Amino acid sequence: MMAGWGSSDHWSAPHFDVYGFRRSDLKNLADKLGMDLSIPLDQITPSIPVATDSKPLSEADVEMLRIEIDALKRQIRKLESERPILIKQYREDDPLLLAIQIRNKEWSKYDHENDRATRANQASIKHELEEMGFTSRQAESIELVACPIKRG
């Protein structure tokens, strides 16, 4: 259920902030472009795509693209300012990182209208954290931070 937290999550990728991409995203892009990633780099020959219905961009198109780029840059700056600092900097089992991963994984299908059926299993999450070496109190605290709802 929760095994493998962080295995594909960008928060845990050590070089994500340096390179800014996920391997799975590149694989999906390569598949869409019809590229075979198993071919060694020295055997790849560049090809020029044949543009049959391509036409130059108009000034309006260029301006729309500039506006979109500016909006995306603002969104990136906002997201970077909201990202917690020092995640996994000093400990592999960073409790905040675990809470983020638990919320992203265990609560991804939560539906407020169908609360009981879709909420994450509190006891299971706590048990998994205890198996990782956290005390009962620590596990309960991490689970509490990961939980996006008020439990009654």
For 73-85, how does the pLDDT look when each residue is reduced to its tens digit (9 = 90+)? Answer: 999 999 999 999 9
- Per-residue pLDDT tens for 98-108? 999 999 999 99
- What is the model's pLDDT at position 15? 54
Alpha-carbon span 5 to 104, nearest angstrom = 10
- What is the model's pLDDT at position 10? 45
End-to-end CA separation in angstroms for the chain = 24
Position with higher pLDDT, 37 vs 113: 113
**CA dihedral of 92, 148, 136, 96, whole degrees rounded to 10:** 20
Position with higher pLDDT, 130 vs 23: 130
- Per-residue pLDDT tens for 10-51? 445 555 555 566 677 777 887 887 777 788 877 777 776 666
